[in-house]
Amino acid sequence: MKQTQTFNAEIKKLLDLMIHSLYSHKEIFLRELVSNASDALDKLRFEALTKPELVTKDHTYQIRLTPNKENNTLKIQDSGIGMSKDEVVEYIGTIARSGTQTYQKISQELKDRPELIGQFGVGFYSSFMVAEKVTLHTQKAGENNGVVWESSGDGTYTIDEVPRPEGTGTTITLHLKKFEAEDNVSDFTEEWTLRSLVKKYSDFISYPIVMKTKNQDKEEDQTLNSMKALWLRSPSEIKPEEYSEFYRHLSHDWNEPLKTVHYKAEGTMEFNSLLYIPAKRPFNFHSRDTDYGLNLYVKRVFIMNDCKDLIPAHLRFVKGLVDSADLSLNVSREILQQDRQVQLIKKNVTNKIYATLKDLLNNSRKEFEGFWKEFGSTLKEGIAMDASSKEKLQDLILFNSSTQEGFTTLDEYIARMKPDQKEIFFITGESLSQVKNTPYMEKLNEKGLEVLLCVDPVDEWVMSALPTYKDKKLQSITRDDLNLDSEEDKKKKEEENKSLKERFMPLIETMKANLSENIKDIVVSDRLSTSAAVLVNSANDPSANMERIMSRMGGDIQAPKVKRILELNLKHPLFETMLSKPVEDQKTWSEILYNQALLNEGSELPDPGKFTKQISDLMARVN
């Protein structure tokens, strides 16, 4: 029974955008629909490996275009996996299951760059750029009933259950709009137009795209695409634009890739690989449900896309494919994960990407830094999560620096170290402005010591996993074991600090007692020059920044709340004033100092209202 349903609010907006706002690149609707058809064929071929009953022995995997000039329609048919009624409602009725927030990003991007439609998983809706009505007739493999979906892009659609005459697959019929000559839109019922668009956008689709053409008054099927496996051709024979178009087909990214890696592995294990390092991060790159991995082929037969077993998670930005002759065609996903050959391919591909990035770093620094801004935080995950990759990754990572403009490597830092410097200093935090202006930097700035500024959330795990680099210890400047002085300077300061501590001991004891619930100790600071106090963590305790990150992540795993050490710069005139105050005032001032130290490290105050009142009262008492 035919039902009429309403699109959700985001779809209505998107359809309006497609119909009224995107004036250029209307032809890309064909690229998107053919790409979707190719995906459907891939899925059926893969499912049929373990469920051969889904297809007949003579099943033909193909895409067919049927233009009709008289009716002003264009049909795009495939013999792929098809969709059930529930799937039609789910995939056609929502924006790639992404929701309102994603729609806002999509709409703005599409207004500026409509050619990016495919990148957002909304390719089907591009039909409405050229069609006044769209009819979709689909039938899921293994089912006997089909589904007809139809809409004029007016905010509603109808859905009915009707068997598809061709059986398994999908037919999309576009009832084309009538464009005026000044609109400069091609006639999509013209054979030459369709032929040229397939050649431009879909020549590398691995299934035949066929269309009936007239030859001496006789109609016959003609295949419009070459179906050449680009990855099996010699790189010397391939034009840059061919690589670029294949990348767009794989990734739906209209930007040029940063780097193309095309090679054949030979020896004990043979496979062909075509890999791309993107120049720009996709809009949904950090979404939890975003798939990643390489496409896997065996002897040119598609097995699966998004194969995570072929690439580590910290290289998930890489797009591409692997074609192997050594893997069994009847592998299942579970068996694939245990396949030794797959692990060898993964290792080979991973090392090839590392080598490519190393070459970029050494010979195209500007390009590498552009890549780093997009994917650096992802690449760094490998140091914390993949011990086998740490040695190669640590040479690639870039840091902001307290003394240098732009980025620096660890090797470059070491080359600039002071003659007597034994440690690589770093600080973690939430922003460059925060860590540059923190009191922790005071003494290091005075001494001209360089500090690596680590402001990615992942840096907490990265620096924990990287205790040394080329025999140099990596030292956090927020820990209590920071050592900035020579042995001679230490002896002088010990005497000086001893004298200061004796003088201010009554005040220190009062502060300790008053702050005992929050701190584990109070010590005289060697790292402060102008600030009065700072909080530091013990060597084995999580940093304040780590506590904040874990708290925001939520869930069951939380960094334990630990007491930190309060360091005092007893040369600061504040302490002479405090020493002369009554004990109750000393207690109040100690709480103010502690809260200031929390603010300096970027932490929240336990009681902001009390703090502001204490400051206001103190200001009111100033003569």
CA distance 512 to 125: 66
User: What does the pLDDT average to over 394-412?
Assistant: 96
Q: What confidence score (pLDDT) does residue 113 get?
A: 55
Residue 98: which pLDDT band, with cuts at 50, 70 and 90?
Answer: very low
Domains of the chain, earliest start first: 3-223 (3.30.565.10), 230-389 (3.30.230.80), 398-427+441-476 (3.40.50.11260), 487-620 (1.20.120.790)
Residue 479 DSSP symbol: B
Give the global pTM: 0.70
Q: What confidence score (pLDDT) does residue 574 get?
A: 94
Whether the pLDDT of residue 473 is over 70: the answer is: yes
User: What does the pLDDT average to over 361-387?
Assistant: 95
What DSSP letter does each residue of 82-136 carry, written as one string?
---HHHHHHHHHSSTT--HHHHHHHHHHHHH-GGGGGGGT-GGGGGGGTEEEEEE
Whether the pLDDT of residue 312 is over 90: the answer is: yes
Helix locations, 317-431, DSSP H: 333-338, 340-363, 365-385, 390-393, 410-416
Token code pair at residue 142 = 């293994």
Residue 466 DSSP symbol: -
Whether the pLDDT of residue 120 is over 70: the answer is: no
- More confident: 137 or 125: 137
Residue 293 DSSP symbol: -
CA distance 400 to 453: 5
Token code pair at residue 87 = 């799937």
Whether the pLDDT of residue 39 is over 50: the answer is: yes
Q: What confidence score (pLDDT) does residue 496 get?
A: 78
User: What does the pLDDT average to over 242-268?
Assistant: 89
Residue 291: which pLDDT band, with cuts at 50, 70 and 90?
Answer: confident
Encode pLDDT of 507-552 as tens digits: 999 999 999 999 999 999 888 989 999 999 987 888 888 888 887 7
Residue 93: which pLDDT band, with cuts at 50, 70 and 90?
Answer: low
Encode pLDDT of 583-604 as tens digits: 999 999 999 999 999 998 888 8
Question: Going by C-beta distance under 8 Å and a sequence separation of 6 or more, which residues neighbour residue 573?
Answer: none
Whether the pLDDT of residue 371 is over 90: the answer is: yes
Whether the pLDDT of residue 169 is over 60: the answer is: yes
Q: What confidence score (pLDDT) does residue 486 get?
A: 73
Encode pLDDT of 543-580 as tens digits: 888 888 887 776 555 556 789 999 999 999 999 999 99
Name the region of 157 (left: φ>0; alpha: ψ -120 to 50; beta: rest). beta
Q: What confidence score (pLDDT) does residue 109 get?
A: 60
Q: What confidence score (pLDDT) does residue 94 get?
A: 55
- More confident: 111 or 200: 200
Whether the pLDDT of residue 23 is over 60: the answer is: no
Whether the pLDDT of residue 495 is over 90: the answer is: no
Whether the pLDDT of residue 335 is over 50: the answer is: no
Q: What confidence score (pLDDT) does residue 97 get?
A: 44
Encode pLDDT of 204-254 as tens digits: 788 999 999 877 778 899 999 988 888 989 999 999 998 998 898 888 888
- For the chain, how far is it from start to end, CA to CA, in angstroms? 85
Share of the chain above pLDDT 70, in %: 89
Q: What confidence score (pLDDT) does residue 96 get?
A: 44
Whether the pLDDT of residue 56 is over 80: the answer is: yes
